[in-house]
């Protein structure tokens, strides 16, 4: 059975949004990799709990304003932060090898 045009249009929008999300995440991680390199050179810790808490609060407020689940937004940010810290640790290891 062929999908109705309305479903195809919605799916097309979802596909476009997924594409945008991937590109936005790629750019975000390019920036955080630079942060990781800088922190490594300055011998700063990979994690910044104060910044993470401020970002979580900010993201939850943005989610609420957008009528989006703030709990999901927080979980999503926590996942990203975990990956960012891993990248920062890798940058520290690379700086240490030089």
Does domain 5-97 fall into CATH 1.20.59.10?
A: yes
Q: Can you give the residue ranges of every domain in the chain? A: 5-97
pLDDT in tens, 7-56: 999 999 999 999 999 999 999 999 999 999 999 999 999 999 999 999 99
Q: For the whole model, what pTM was predicted? A: 0.83
CB contact at 8 A, 73 and 59: yes
Separation CA 64–CA 77 (nearest Å)? 15
Can you give 1-29 as a three-state secondary structure string?
Answer: CCCCHHHHHHHHHHHHHHHHHHHHHHHHH
Separation CA 54–CA 36 (nearest Å)? 19
Greatest CA span in the chain, whole angstroms? 60
């Amino acid at each position: 059975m062929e999908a109705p045009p309305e479903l195809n249009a919605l799916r097309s929008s979802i596909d476009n949004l997924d594409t945008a999300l991937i590109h936005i995440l790629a750019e975000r991680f390019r920036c955080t990799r630079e942060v990781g390199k800088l922190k490594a050179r300055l011998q700063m810790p990979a994690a910044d709990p104060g910044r993470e808490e401020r970002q979580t609060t900010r993201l939850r407020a943005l989610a609420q304003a957008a009528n989006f689940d703030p709990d999901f937004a927080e979980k999503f940010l926590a996942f990203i932060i975990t990956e960012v810290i891993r990248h920062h640790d890798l940058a520290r290891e690379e700086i240490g090898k030089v």
